């Protein structure tokens, strides 16, 4: 069977109007090109599945800004390092499909690994200076995997808007730079971090936590809240901001610090004192999960 027909779009049973699921790249190109010929604006939300309210908020933003919305679900092996959770990463396909149906997504792209990484492919995308710091220093090669797969996804969908979440702030900054440097005709847009009622940022990895661990996970947002309160009260020392977060975390013995960073929001380089827009980002291990959170802030 040809690639054109093997990945051909098909309506989801029971969806009126609705969501089309495709696998092959040729089918995605064909559908999206047809929309563009009709003058439709296309918004794109790339995901690894295990969808939650944070993803759905991006879908809603894309829906409000575009005529057609494409979502991809692809657990990208290239961004997982040795010993990381690629094989056990949650893949609740039926639940994800139901959420996307309800959200009014027009096209769901579910590529196979071979669709994006064909035998013999060699190209990788690196964004020097942004990918080696913070998370990148702790997870070598991670952001090369992210940038490479998103470049491939954009090459197929060719959307007008690419929607990313603020929770993955370093990732968003890297992809903004990649799009700018490669002259890609897409607007990168960020949606705010969405949180559960107790302040924990929505994350697919929250599913790894038992009830006790889930109670410890609030430390990340509470530490950040304390740092933000200090900034608003006039604190400008990065070292003292980090100490404030650690002081909060000491109340949560199940939290194991990976990183607490206070950096320039554009360059991602560490700052000693807060003078312009900064990113305060944290990473910690709680039970079997590695969680991240952050906020950006600028003095007035």
pLDDT surpasses 50 at 7: no
- Specify the pLDDT at position 169: 98
Count of CB atoms within 10 A of residue 115's CB? 20
Query: Minimum mean pLDDT among 14-18, 111-115, 223-227, 265-269: which range?
Result: 14-18
Q: Where are the beta strands (DSSP E) in 119-235?
A: 161-165, 187-191
As a whole number, mean pLDDT of residues 276-281 equals 98
Start-end of H helices in 182-237: 211-216, 218-232
From 5, 52, 55, 142, active-site residue: 55
- How do strand 278-286 and strand 289-297 relate by DSSP bridges? antiparallel
5 annotated active-site: no
Burial of 55 (0-12, 13-18, 19+ CB in 10 A): buried
> What CATH number labels 204-295?
3.30.1300.10
pLDDT surpasses 80 at 168: yes
Model confidence at 85, pLDDT cuts 50, 70, 90, reads: confident
Domain limits of the chain? 3-191, 204-295
- Report the C-alpha dihedral over residues 176, 182, 186, 191, rounded to 10 degrees: -10
Interatomic CA distance for residues 202 and 206, integer angstroms = 7
Which homologous superfamily is 3-191 in? HUPs (3.40.50.620)
Question: Tokens 């609740």 appear where?
Answer: 92
Share of the chain above pLDDT 70, in %: 94
As a whole number, mean pLDDT of residues 20-33 equals 97
Return the closest-CA partner of residue 278 out of 237, 233, 248.
Answer: 237
Q: For the chain, what is the radius of gyration of the CA atoms? A: 20
Domains 3-191 and 204-295 share a fold: no
- Specify the pLDDT at position 16: 37
Q: Which two tokens stand for residue 34?
A: 């047809």
In this predicted model, what pLDDT tens digit does every residue of 196-253 receive, in sequence order? Answer: 999 999 999 999 999 999 999 999 999 999 999 999 999 999 999 999 999 999 999 9
């Amino acid at each position: 069977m040809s690639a054109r027909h093997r990945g051909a779009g098909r309506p989801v049973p029971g969806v009126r109007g609705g969501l089309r699921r495709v696998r092959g790249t040729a089918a995605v190109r064909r559908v999206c090109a047809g929309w563009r010929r009709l003058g439709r604006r296309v918004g794109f939300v790339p995901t690894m599945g295990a969808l939650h309210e944070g993803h759905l908020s991006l879908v809603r933003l894309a829906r409000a800004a575009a005529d057609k919305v494409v979502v991809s679900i692809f657990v990208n092996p290239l961004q997982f390092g040795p010993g990381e959770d690629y094989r056990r990463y949650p893949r609740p396909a039926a639940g994800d499909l139901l959420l996307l149906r309800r959200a009014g997504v027009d096209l769901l792209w579910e590529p196979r690994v071979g669709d994006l990484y064909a035998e013999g492919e060699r190209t990788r995308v690196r964004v020097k200076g942004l990918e080696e710091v913070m998370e990148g220093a702790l997870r070598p090669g991670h952001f090369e995997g992210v940038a490479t797969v998103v470049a491939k996804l954009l090459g197929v969908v060719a959307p007008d808007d690419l929607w990313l979440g603020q929770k993955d702030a370093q990732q968003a900054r890297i992809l903004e730079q990649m799009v700018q440097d490669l002259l890609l005709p897409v607007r990168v847009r960020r949606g705010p971090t969405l949180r559960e009622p107790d302040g924990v940022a929505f994350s697919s990895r929250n599913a790894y936590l038992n009830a006790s661990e889930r109670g410890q996970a609030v430390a990340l947002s509470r530490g950040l809240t304390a740092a933000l309160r200090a900034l608003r009260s006039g604190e400008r020392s990065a070292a003292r901001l980090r100490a404030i977060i650690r002081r909060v975390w000491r109340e949560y013995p199940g939290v194991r610090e990976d990183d607490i960073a206070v950096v320039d929001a554009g360059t991602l380089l560490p700052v000693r004192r807060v003078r312009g827009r900064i990113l305060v980002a944290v990473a910690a291990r709680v039970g079997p999960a590695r969680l991240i959170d952050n906020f950006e802030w600028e003095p007035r």
